């Protein structure tokens, strides 16, 4: 990693913006009314005056304690001093140790995100150029003493989770809060203990953190999003959804996102309506890649799933009349009946887009308790989706209770009748892929690169002293 590399990245992201970046310097804060009444604002705000990049200091302990996620669990391999050992993560595929999404009012994505993240990448490039941070050779807890605690202090101080490194070999309350602040930034449970995934995340290299920030900033470069008073954002690596009202997160939801072989796309759309008890019309990708091969093996496969077939005039078609080995097999409409076992669940958030993906309920709610929630075919499934729908429907008429509360939505679902409730004003929504980002306070956050999309920083050599695992580099012990 060299300083010219960081400068090259920043230059390339500005070029990627094209003409929009040039116009930005003159009128970044201007807004024009869109057709639906939402103010349209360039994603990239005008850059602040140049200043030496620094990481923000950790907030007061009381402010960090309430904003942490629940646990990710991993098996720890303790290194032998004479052997080369790689610390490895293990994704948990049951409900034990599942993490929650941190409830913090600061949005992950906002008008500030591109510039804040690009600037943060400069800071991490400088940290990497200066030699990175200490490798922690084992778990560190309040019972630890001596060099391990001193190394932990130095490690936390470099990223400003710990405001001051006093060099003490003894654990204290300030160190506990610094560890919790680090865990919050990583989306980990705030145990205050440096064990398990916390230890592994601390041993991810500064080079990998630069890579995540720079790659995320590059993906955001040139994106335009109509920020209004209210919007919804989905950060795919975080497996979470945010409802943002006047710059503050009023709801943050646990989500199930696209599997690694069915990735959720990065899109901008508008939410226009809520569909109660929706039918599911299968996209062509699922019809061709999954339905047809299964029908070739089992002619009764669709009946098990309550999926019916129609021609393009909406006339029913008998599955046995179709030659499932012909190209014509996919030239039909495949529709699953609404109900509790519908793949969309009992509620869908309508947001038309060319990728044909949506946010919706699910008939597999146990997935929300999993550690690894990359499980869908590309759509985003939301835990407690009725709460998001209720927020979106503020001001909408037609509710028997006067407003569309979660209870009123449940009552409409219980009728088993299909219903579409239009929003009084369209709400913008964006799905982004940020493995590293800086929030509006300059605090950096990181998540795993599940789709292996981070590509800034060039190829790696044996001199990097890193091993790649899950899209991140973890420092090796020699």
Question: Dmax over Cα atoms in the chain, in whole Å?
Answer: 78
| Distance, CA of 36 to CA of 39 (rounded, Å) | 9
Report the pLDDT averaged over residues 327-349: 79
**Phi then psi dihedrals of residue 287, to 5 deg:** -60, -50
Q: 379: which 2 tokens?
A: 């759509």
Query: Residue 19: is its pLDDT beyond 80?
Result: no
Query: Residue 166: is its pLDDT beyond 90?
Result: yes
Please give the full DSSP string across 178-245, using - where no structure is assigned: HHHHHHHHHT------B-HHHHHHHTB-HHHHHHHHHHHHHHHTT--BB--SEEEEEEGGGTEEEEEE
| Distance, CA of 271 to CA of 425 (rounded, Å) | 9
Strand order of the β-sheet with 333-336 is 280-281, 333-336, 307-310, 316-317
Report the pLDDT averaged over residues 260-265: 94
| Distance, CA of 367 to CA of 374 (rounded, Å) | 9
- Per-residue pLDDT at 33: 34
In terms of Cβ atoms closer than 10 Å to its own Cβ (0-12, 13-18, 19+), residue 32 is: exposed
Query: Residue 344: is its pLDDT beyond 50?
Result: yes
Q: Name the pLDDT band for 6 (thresholds 50, 70, 90).
A: low
155/469: higher pLDDT: 155
Nearest-10 Cα torsion for 202, 206, 209, 210:
170
Q: 128: which 2 tokens?
A: 């990497």
| Distance, CA of 366 to CA of 384 (rounded, Å) | 12
| Distance, CA of 427 to CA of 392 (rounded, Å) | 8
| Distance, CA of 272 to CA of 389 (rounded, Å) | 11
| Distance, CA of 258 to CA of 464 (rounded, Å) | 32
Q: Name the pLDDT band for 65 (thresholds 50, 70, 90).
A: very low
* 393 secondary structure, DSSP code: T
Q: 357: which 2 tokens?
A: 């993906």
- Per-residue pLDDT at 43: 37
Q: What is the CA radius of gyration of the chain?
A: 24
| Distance, CA of 338 to CA of 438 (rounded, Å) | 41
- Per-residue pLDDT at 136: 96
Query: Residue 156: is its pLDDT beyond 90?
Result: yes
3-state secondary structure 295-335: HHHCCCHHHHHCEEEECCCCCEECHHHCCCCCHHHHCCEEE
- Per-residue pLDDT at 462: 32
Measure the N-to-C terminal CA separation of the chain; round to a whole number of Å: 21
- Per-residue pLDDT at 126: 97
403/31: higher pLDDT: 403
pTM of the shown model: 0.75
Mean pLDDT of the chain: 79
- Per-residue pLDDT at 101: 65
- Per-residue pLDDT at 308: 84
pLDDT in tens, 81-139: 333 333 333 333 332 233 556 678 999 999 999 999 999 999 999 999 999 999 999 99
From 152, 141, 148, select the one nearest 196 (Cα to Cα). 141
Query: Residue 434: is its pLDDT beyond 90?
Result: yes
Q: What percent of the chain has pLDDT over 70?
A: 73
Report the pLDDT averaged over residues 7-23: 41
User: SS3 of 437, please?
Assistant: strand
Q: What percent of the chain has pLDDT over 90?
A: 56
Lowest mean pLDDT segment, chosen from 15-24, 202-211, 326-335: 15-24
Cβ atoms of 448 and 435 within 8 Å: the answer is yes
pLDDT in tens, 358-393: 999 987 888 888 878 999 989 999 999 999 999 999
Q: Name the pLDDT band for 453 (thresholds 50, 70, 90).
A: very high
Where do the structural domains in the chain lie, given as residue ranges?
Answer: 3-219+437-477, 280-337
SS3 content of the chain, % helix, strand, coil (to 5): 30, 20, 50
From 390, 32, 379, 396, select the one nearest 226 (Cα to Cα). 32
């Amino acid at each position: 990693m060299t300083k010219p590399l960081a400068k090259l990245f920043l230059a390339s992201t500005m070029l990627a913006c094209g003409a929009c970046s040039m116009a930005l310097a003159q009128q970044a804060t201007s807004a024009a009314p869109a057709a639906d009444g939402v103010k349209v604002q360039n994603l990239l705000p005008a850059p602040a005056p140049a200043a030496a990049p620094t990481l923000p200091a950790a907030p007061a302990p009381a402010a960090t304690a309430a904003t942490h996620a629940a646990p990710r669990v991993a098996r720890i391999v303790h290194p032998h001093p004479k052997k080369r050992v790689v610390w490895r993560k293990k994704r948990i595929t049951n409900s034990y140790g599942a993490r929650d999404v941190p409830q913090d009012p600061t949005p992950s994505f906002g008008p500030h995100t591109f510039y804040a993240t690009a600037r943060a990448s400069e800071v991490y490039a400088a940290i990497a150029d200066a030699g990175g941070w200490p490798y922690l050779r084992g778990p560190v807890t309040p019972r630890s003493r001596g060099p391990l605690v001193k190394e932990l202090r130095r490690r936390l101080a470099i990223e400003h989770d710990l405001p001051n490194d006093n060099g003490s070999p003894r654990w204290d309350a300030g160190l506990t809060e610094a560890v919790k602040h680090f865990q919050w930034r990583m989306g980990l449970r705030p145990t205050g203990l440096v064990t398990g995934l916390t230890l592994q995340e601390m041993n991810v290299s500064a080079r990998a953190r630069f890579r995540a920030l720079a790659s995320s900033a590059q993906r955001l470069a040139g994106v335009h999003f109509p920020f209004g008073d209210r919007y919804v954002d989905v950060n795919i690596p975080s497996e979470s959804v945010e409802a943002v009202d006047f710059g503050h997160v009023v709801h943050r939801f646990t989500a199930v996102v696209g599997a690694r072989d069915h990735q959720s796309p990065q899109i901008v759309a508008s939410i226009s309506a809520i569909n109660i008890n929706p039918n599911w019309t299968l996209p062509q990708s699922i019809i061709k890649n999954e339905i047809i091969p299964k029908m070739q093996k089992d002619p009764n496969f669709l009946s098990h799933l309550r999926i019916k077939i129609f021609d393009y005039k909406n006339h029913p078609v008998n599955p046995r009349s179709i030659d499932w080995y012909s190209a014509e097999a996919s030239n039909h409409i495949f529709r699953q009946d609404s109900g509790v076992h519908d793949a969309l669940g009992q509620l869908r958030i309508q947001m038309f887009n060319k990728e044909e993906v949506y946010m919706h309920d699910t008939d597999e709610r146990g997935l929300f308790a999993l550690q690894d929630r990359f499980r869908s075919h590309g759509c985003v499934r939301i835990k407690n989706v009725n709460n998001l729908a209720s927020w979106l429907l503020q001001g909408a008429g037609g509710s028997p209770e006067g407003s569309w509360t979660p209870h009123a939505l449940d009552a409409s679902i219980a009728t088993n009748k299909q219903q579409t409730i239009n929003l009084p004003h369209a709400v913008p929504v964006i799905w982004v892929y940020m493995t590293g980002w800086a929030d509006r306070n300059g605090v950096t956050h990181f998540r795993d690169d599940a789709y292996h999309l981070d590509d800034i920083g060039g190829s790696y050599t044996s001199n990097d002293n890193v091993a790649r695992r899950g899209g991140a580099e973890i420092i090796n012990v020699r």
